[in-house]
Structure 1
Amino acid sequence: MKKIFCSLLLVSFCIGKSTLAQEVYQFTKALTITSVHHYGREAIYTDQLAYQYFANTLKAPVAGQTFGTNDSGQTVIWKALEADSLNRFRTREFGGGGTYLYLTYSSDRDRSALLHVKGNSALFFNGEQHTGDPYSSGWLYIPVQVKKGLNEIYLRSFGMVQARLLFPEKPVILNVEDPTMPSIVLNENNKTLQGAVVVINTTAQALKNLNIKSRINGSELNTALPVVPALSIRKVSFALNADGVDQKGQFECSLVLLQNAKPIDEKKVTLEAVGPTEKYSQTFISYIDGSLQYYAVAPQNSSSDNSSHALFLSVHGAGVEAIGQAKAYQSKDWGTLVAATNRRPRGFNWEDWGRLDALEVLQLAKDRFNPDPKRIYLTGHSMGGHGTWFLGATYPDKWAAIAPCAGYPTLKEYGSADGKIPDSSRSQMEQMLLRASNQSDVVKLVSNYKPLGIYILHGDSDKVVSVNYARQMKKQLADFHADLSYYEYPGGEHWYGNESVDWKPLFDFFKWHQKLPDSSLNTIDFITSNPGISPSNRWASVQQQIHPLQYSRIKLNRNKNKRTITGTTENVQLLKLDLSNFGIHTTVTIDLDSLNKISYTTSSDQDSLYLLKQNNQWGITNQPGFEQKGPHRYGTFKEAFNYKMVFVYGTIGSKDENEWSFNKARYDAETWYYRGNGAVDVISDKDYSQSLYKGRNVIIYGNANSNSAYKLLLQSCPIQLERNTVKAGNHIWKGDDLAAYFIWPMKGTNNNSIGVIGGTGLKGMNAATGNQYFAGGSGFPDFMVFSLGMLRTGGNEVKLAGFFDNAWKLSESEMIQNK
């Protein structure tokens, strides 16, 4: 008989003014083990408990029982743990890292519930995996189906954990604890503003025919909503008309959730109306996933002519909201400051989708405020200091100057809850996997800062991000960078007031700098590791590499008088040169790598040239088609989560395979919502069609035998994932415990891709369950094949990993196979 730990607590729990649940079960007793899992910023993860769980060898825990051994071979024993007076389980008392908690709940009947946990990174509820709330945000409520009898929960955790079950009065709930809302800016058009809140579906059926009716200051709007899958959460956007608001202050917006035109829940959210010169939030629909995001604005405080005003992009630190970032600055009389969100206050460390968010907001701000293109600047604090280093090195042609404040340069040295990116002193297999993280290492990209003014600000008493990081970058730059200003704030800790970011000498430094036009910059020294992220600097662009995701470098000199371009390249297969500054009918001589010289006569004043390196010779070539790799679509696996992806779960496999497929898609959608404030369509393979979801990436869960969309989209792929078999070219692996992640270009599209997450059987599918590909900066190659044994022993059980060549073919030289 399994031992049951339970303590019943009935309380009233409210969100705002509306009751979410009248009955709450608070977990106060647990069992715990430590040092049994490792998840980080890499493709390899180990989890001894999950391995036993998926291998069906995990025994029901009892205090004092031996679990097994940890990664270091030490014996691990289950220990009893009681919550403190605030109902917190303090797992650090038992060693902290790699912890699992085991909780149980005994029910007298089947019923729906909301699992509310803070301080965990993921969990199993009766075998179904769900995302966690590692930052203890508190607004994540996971719908679960409680069964009659014993219900078991394994929480993957660290630090302090709180856990409870809430039994809601209503089966469908509007949750307004995590809204994305705009400000009402007076004297602007506020008729079609957009906000977003969460719909919680605790039923076993998908919710269709939903609408939200918004009402503010007497004005109503009705918005149709997407489908919310069974037992799931989804953040949904809606329209609201605030044009009737004509004074500053707080205004309530009533929201009514309707199904088939009948009200099923109602909540209120608050919007703030601000004056035109005050800081405000602006929402927008993101091209990344179609969700509602926001950025914050500190408007220029001058009413003078804005035709040549500056734009400052500020990237915030961990745990900071964009609106809080904007409010830390005094408005400037010579420019507008815009703060992007990184998708969440912690988000993606300004890498991956945080990087895309910054670029998206930058473009929106340029379109809206029309700044002087010579006066665009980048700054940020803490994690945003890292974002400044990273975005500055990755896109050196976008800024006149940058100013990292209290920042760390690279995730290989400084990590957060997801840890650091491991160094490359690993096996060949692990080095192949880590190659996909190369762009994160800005120390290797340091020469990209040459054209930028750089102001480094750091408190000399910073205990959160050591001042040694600033000194490290100063030393790196001092050897070659002539336009560097450095200041250590005496006695300054990590935050020493608004001067930590709004430092007058920093903005004076910005004012002295303008970005030179392309016509004036005749020398380029540029490094990239991924043309899909960062292909170009000014008039030169790395289109394809010889070795994917290794560092490529171009050092070029342009002489318009002599009509020449000379220089060297490293790891460049295809190079694009913009020749527009040479004019029409001009013969240009190009001399690269001391190889053959090329002469080309321009046909227009907007001409460009593609050069292909083959057999140690450079030659003129045509622009490659979209079916080849290029900046439009280059990989890696994580690229499949761009361009409004849709999650497609399989329904043609066995019952267990189909359940895994849906649960995994839902788990990824939950994690995407938590980490990226995102929203994803989760649909069955039967509901997918290329015409209906045109222009969107697809994530397929399962294999060719369990998901009908697989054969529809992946027939030409050289990697085939089937029941009991994985084929990659001439390589074949057999068994039901194999898993795979890979990306493949969608035929007939310019930039859409298919991502595959699946396995050869239930064991292999379970092995693919971990989703640390959503950790900012984590590296995943184009493809990897691994077994369930990876969860137990790590990299030795990765069978194959690597990158497709530029024609999306398998290349033995760009992949590693374990025997």
Structure 2
Amino acid sequence: MKKQLLVYLLVLLASTSYVKAQKTHWFSEGLGAGPCHTYGREALYTDQLAYQLYNGTLAKPAEGAVLLNDQQGKPVTWQAVKADTAHRFRSNAFSNGYLYLTYNSPKAETALLTVTGHDMVYVNGAPRGGDMYRYGWMHLPVQLKKGQNEIYVRVARYGRWGGITARLEFPEKPVMLSKADMTIPHIVPSESNDSLWVGMVVMNTTDKPLTGLQAVSTLQGREVVTTLPAIAPLTTRKVGFKVNASNALSEGKHTATVSLRQGGKVVDQKGFELETIENGKHYSRTFVSHIDGSVQYYSVAPQQKPDGKAPALFFSVHGAEVEAINQARAYKPKDWGVLVAPTNRRPRGFNWEDWGRLDALEVLDIAKKKFNPDPSRIYLTGHSMGGHGTWFLGATYPGNWAAIAPSAGYPTLAAYGSHDGQIPDQARSPMEGILLRASNPSNVLALATNYKPLGVYVVHGDADPVVSVEYARQMRKLLGTFHTDFSYYEYPGGSHWYSDESVDWAPLFHFFSWHRIPKDTAALAIDFTTANPGISGTMRWATVHQQASPLQYSRIQLNRDNKKNTITGSTQNVALLSLNLKGFAPRDTVKVTLDSLQTINYVVKSAGETLYLRKGSQWQTATAPDARQKGVHRYGTLKEPFKNRMVFVYGTSGTKEENAWAFNKARYDAETWYFRANGAIDLVADKDFNPANYPDRGVIIYGNATSNSAWNKVLADCPIKVQKGEVVAGNTRFTGDDLGAYFAWPRSDSRTASVAVVAGTGLKGMQAANANQYFSGGSGFADVMIFSLDMLKDGIKGIKMAGFLGNDWSVEQGEFVTNK
């Protein structure tokens, strides 16, 4: 123990000396201009400054100089701004615009740039990740050139987050561990603690990749060695390593150390604390996510006085800026169930949509395996943003829950939104309409009839100034048109948070106790709507595999009579449907009548058989969809490939400028993913990419068929090709060096993984693809979008083609809007 304490003190002393040794430069003067951009929850965006930057026409900012003339012809000029004594730039001059900063460096050197309150930043023209929520741990290794370095900080709504801060630090060490954003579990004596995962950031300020890394953790004499992934040059990456805490079971905090080693040499070392929680108290546990291989956590309010019977499972999704552990601690332990709170990947994350949704499903699966709950007693609840998550997850996966209870929630991002804005509720043109269609899975109002089999308890403070009680009243009115099992309560005088009763409300849990999930064979009626079978295609014994019109709403209303051996009903926008015949006996003849068309008489061959039906002029029996077709396993949109431990593959086979763009863009996306998703990504050069080494993983290609040599390894059979000077999509061809493209394509060597492409026909087109609103929760991106650099200036007019590939992934069978 004394030896360990001495090691920790030495590590602490070294860390303190390092902090004192490094030089810090705070930016105190700059120029601001705005508004000049619009970014939000759709693929379409405009940015007048970026347009000039990419065209090489951006004049050097000067006080009073005109950046642009707005739509009314009024000049938008650069205005001088100064930071206050807290180093904050607070001015409307750059609201929805840019803050321009410069740094004159006496020599070429690397530094850590830390900006807060911004959406992203250009450093000498290269895009880098933002810190819009002012967390303060987004440290960007940057290469400064000798002389003047230019920094353009993109800002959204200035006042909401308290201004912008910016500083440069010049570290003594080229490679460092950072404790600023750790993911740490609790030690729980009643559970296994010999392989606990911890997440910690490694900062590489060198221009070389770090390989052959190991993390060596030590706690109470137990050492664990974890091999780490490569860290790309001038990047940070959050890595996971194991800790053996089996000797640290006494209640309280325990000091551990971790050494970062390369080739057996210690590069850096840090001390950190793990806390042992008394059995029966709230706790957090970590796991390695299947989404990207990063370390994530969930929190638990354990069951009080377990009786040996299968407990109920309460699944609680938190609000914005709430950690999962604090969400769990808001609930007193229950004697009839266990409560589990997932993270949404971050306190804000993805509004419980997209990868927040996937995180919820991943933790739900872990909770089911860990706690073995009664499968009929699984309940969903949440507060604020988690109230939205409850509405959304309840409508998207109605078969998962016996009852749901949104508290202080808003139903849709179209009505409420957040920092990323709102999903537009209507399209201004056919082109925008097909882009917005990709957001249909977010529309809780269109999916509301999915609540029919669920108990619904709505609770909201009637004086809520953050999320108006009118949202609850809206849903009460909507539910009243069809629902027969919902309860509604407005807490008198209740603000947004009026004590733990905001979530831990006794009548809510009493309502839960009445409800059970029926067995599938006992659910004789199904009324289910989906906009994307790849997100949610199954309800009980019926599955929508393919749609007639992609990402329009599909609805099935089915009735099953086990005595008469009949299934009847109606469908909308369904091309391929399956019915699980469990409950019907072999040799039974099941009569299926859909849409008042010809009845299908099907003889059951085996117990639990699945019947597939395809619709043409009539419904006909069919076979299971081929893995190469669209289906619940892989249905498309640009966002879909960003899972399955995706790898970012950047091109190195183009010009020097194109290669620099590819790496910078991949790094920018990785930084944005880290900030929003607490995530980690493998960055791989095209020349080092072999698909066989990354089986069943999502692949993101940066570059085109000319500049990225990995193109033909994963896109050889793709009907969309981007190369120098042109884009070909089926029989449609666009030419020019300023075209950008986003599209998704299935990996031919995988049944589940896909490829996303971020491409351009030349440097201007590549730069036009720099924006990454695809990481905004609920934002809509179709399967394919081809656009020109002019989109940044002219908006929708700059989009050339957008839409969805067919169920066979062809352009010909798809649905597209084209601007010639």
**TM-score tier after normalising by the smaller chain length:** over 0.9
Rounded to whole Å, the distance in 1 between the matches of 2:181 and 2:79 is: 35
Of the three residues 134, 149, 159, the one matched with 2:132 is 134
Q: For residue 70 of structure 1, what is the aligned residue in structure 2? A: 70
Of the three residues 384, 391, 396, the one matched with 1:382 is 384
Shift of 1:17: 8.3
Shift of 1:659: 0.4
Of the three residues 247, 250, 253, the one matched with 2:250 is 247
Q: Helix, strand or coil: the match of 2:583?
A: helix
Deviations, residues 391-422 of structure 1 (Å, cap 9, x unaligned): 00000000000000000000010111100001
Deviations, residues 489-548 of structure 1 (Å, cap 9, x unaligned): 011111111111111110111111111111211001110000000101101110000000
Q: For residue 86 of structure 1, what is the aligned residue in structure 2? A: 86
Quick check: 1:637–1:780 contact (8 Å CA) kept in 2?
Answer: yes
Q: For residue 708 of structure 2, what is the aligned residue in structure 1? A: 707
Quick check: 2:32–2:79 contact (8 Å CA) kept in 1?
Answer: yes
Aligned 1:146-165 pairs, distance under 5 A: 146-158=144-156, 159=158, 160-165=163-168
Q: For residue 192 of structure 2, what is the aligned residue in structure 1? A: 189
Rounded to whole Å, the distance in 2 between the matches of 1:15 and 1:293 is: 26
Aligned 1:157-176 pairs, distance under 5 A: 157-158=155-156, 159=158, 160-176=163-179
Rounded to whole Å, the distance in 2 between the matches of 1:151 and 1:229 is: 23
Quick check: 1:36–1:71 contact (8 Å CA) kept in 2?
Answer: no
Q: For residue 57 of structure 2, what is the aligned residue in structure 1? A: 57
Quick check: 1:433–1:802 contact (8 Å CA) kept in 2?
Answer: yes
Q: For residue 268 of structure 2, what is the aligned residue in structure 1? A: 265
Rounded to whole Å, the distance in 2 between the matches of 1:601 and 1:72 is: 70
Q: For residue 9 of structure 1, what is the aligned residue in structure 2? A: none
Q: Helix, strand or coil: the match of 1:143?
A: strand
Aligned 1:273-422 pairs, distance under 5 A: 273-305=276-308, 307-422=309-424
Please list every run of 5 or more consecutive structure 1 residues that lacks an aligned counterpart in the other structure: 1-12
Quick check: 1:21–1:167 contact (8 Å CA) kept in 2?
Answer: no
Rounded to whole Å, the distance in 2 between the matches of 1:662 and 1:811 is: 33
Rounded to whole Å, the distance in 2 between the matches of 1:16 and 1:694 is: 44
Q: For residue 7 of structure 1, what is the aligned residue in structure 2? A: none
Shift of 1:152: 0.6
Which amino acid counterpart does residue 524 of structure 2 have in structure 1? N
Shift of 1:813: 6.1
Q: Helix, strand or coil: the match of 1:638?
A: coil
The yes-or-no answer on 1:221 pairing with 2:224 is: yes
The yes-or-no answer on 1:235 pairing with 2:238 is: yes
Q: For residue 465 of structure 1, what is the aligned residue in structure 2? A: 467
Deviations, residues 421-464 of structure 1 (Å, cap 9, x unaligned): 01123210000000000010100111000000000010000011
Deviations, residues 723-772 of structure 1 (Å, cap 9, x unaligned): 00000111111100000000111113101111110100000000001001
C-alpha spacing 1:776/1:71, structure 2 compared with 1 (3 Å)? farther
Q: Helix, strand or coil: the match of 2:668?
A: helix
The yes-or-no answer on 1:749 pairing with 2:750 is: yes
The yes-or-no answer on 1:120 pairing with 2:123 is: no
Rounded to whole Å, the distance in 2 between the matches of 1:533 and 1:411 is: 18
Shift of 1:187: 3.0
Aligned 1:567-606 pairs, distance under 5 A: 567-606=569-608
Q: Helix, strand or coil: the match of 1:708?
A: coil
The yes-or-no answer on 1:30 pairing with 2:3 is: no
Q: For residue 765 of structure 2, what is the aligned residue in structure 1? A: 764
Q: For residue 562 of structure 1, what is the aligned residue in structure 2? A: 564
Quick check: 2:311–2:373 contact (8 Å CA) kept in 1?
Answer: yes
Rounded to whole Å, the distance in 1 between the matches of 2:817 and 2:607 is: 46
Aligned 1:770-809 pairs, distance under 5 A: 770-809=771-810
Rounded to whole Å, the distance in 2 between the matches of 1:77 and 1:216 is: 58
Q: For residue 507 of structure 2, what is the aligned residue in structure 1? A: 505
Rounded to whole Å, the distance in 2 between the matches of 1:797 and 1:732 is: 15
Shift of 1:667: 0.5
Quick check: 2:806–2:814 contact (8 Å CA) kept in 1?
Answer: no
Q: For residue 45 of structure 2, what is the aligned residue in structure 1? A: 45
Which amino acid counterpart does residue 111 of structure 1 have in structure 2? E
Quick check: 2:629–2:809 contact (8 Å CA) kept in 1?
Answer: yes
Rounded to whole Å, the distance in 2 between the matches of 1:39 and 1:770 is: 9
Quick check: 1:48–1:70 contact (8 Å CA) kept in 2?
Answer: no
Q: For residue 449 of structure 1, what is the aligned residue in structure 2? A: 451
Shift of 1:216: 1.3
Which amino acid counterpart does residue 117 of structure 2 have in structure 1? G
Provide the TM-score with structure 2 as the length reference.
0.97
Rounded to whole Å, the distance in 2 between the matches of 1:357 and 1:406 is: 22
Which amino acid counterpart does residue 661 of structure 1 have in structure 2? A
Quick check: 2:185–2:196 contact (8 Å CA) kept in 1?
Answer: yes
Q: Helix, strand or coil: the match of 2:392?
A: helix
Shift of 1:679: 0.5
Quick check: 1:14–1:21 contact (8 Å CA) kept in 2?
Answer: no
Quick check: 1:15–1:177 contact (8 Å CA) kept in 2?
Answer: no
Shift of 1:581: 1.3
Q: For residue 612 of structure 2, what is the aligned residue in structure 1? A: 610
Shift of 1:712: 1.8
C-alpha spacing 1:574/1:15, structure 2 compared with 1 (3 Å)? farther
Rounded to whole Å, the distance in 1 between the matches of 2:465 and 2:717 is: 54
Q: Which moved more, 1:347-356 or 1:155-164?
A: 155-164
Q: Helix, strand or coil: the match of 2:358?
A: helix
Quick check: 1:410–1:440 contact (8 Å CA) kept in 2?
Answer: yes
Q: Helix, strand or coil: the match of 1:668?
A: helix
Shift of 1:18: 5.7
Rounded to whole Å, the distance in 1 between the matches of 2:375 and 2:306 is: 20
Which amino acid counterpart does residue 527 of structure 2 have in structure 1? D
Rounded to whole Å, the distance in 2 between the matches of 1:142 and 1:395 is: 39
Shift of 1:14: 11
Which amino acid counterpart does residue 757 of structure 2 have in structure 1? V
Q: Helix, strand or coil: the match of 2:795?
A: helix
Quick check: 1:214–1:256 contact (8 Å CA) kept in 2?
Answer: yes
C-alpha spacing 1:319/1:538, structure 2 compared with 1 (3 Å)? same
Shift of 1:280: 0.7
Calculate percent identity across the aligned residue pairs: 55
Rounded to whole Å, the distance in 2 between the matches of 1:502 and 1:635 is: 39
Which amino acid counterpart does residue 94 of structure 1 have in structure 2? A
Q: Helix, strand or coil: the match of 1:640?
A: coil
C-alpha spacing 1:618/1:228, structure 2 compared with 1 (3 Å)? same
- The root-mean-square deviation of aligned C-alpha atoms, in Å, is 1.3
Count of matched residue positions in the alignment of Structure 1 and Structure 2 = 803
Q: For residue 819 of structure 2, what is the aligned residue in structure 1? A: 818
Aligned 1:535-550 pairs, distance under 5 A: 535-550=537-552
Shift of 1:72: 5.4
Shift of 1:15: 7.5
Rounded to whole Å, the distance in 2 between the matches of 1:72 and 1:675 is: 36
Rounded to whole Å, the distance in 2 between the matches of 1:499 and 1:694 is: 48
C-alpha spacing 1:71/1:301, structure 2 compared with 1 (3 Å)? farther
Shift of 1:73: 4.4
C-alpha spacing 1:146/1:95, structure 2 compared with 1 (3 Å)? closer
Q: Helix, strand or coil: the match of 2:476?
A: helix
Please list every run of 5 or more consecutive structure 2 residues that lacks an aligned counterpart in the other structure: 1-12
Q: Helix, strand or coil: the match of 1:509?
A: helix
Quick check: 1:579–1:609 contact (8 Å CA) kept in 2?
Answer: yes
Q: Which moved more, 1:447-456 or 1:712-721?
A: 712-721
Q: For residue 98 of structure 2, what is the aligned residue in structure 1? A: 100
Shift of 1:95: 6.8
Rounded to whole Å, the distance in 2 between the matches of 1:465 and 1:271 is: 36
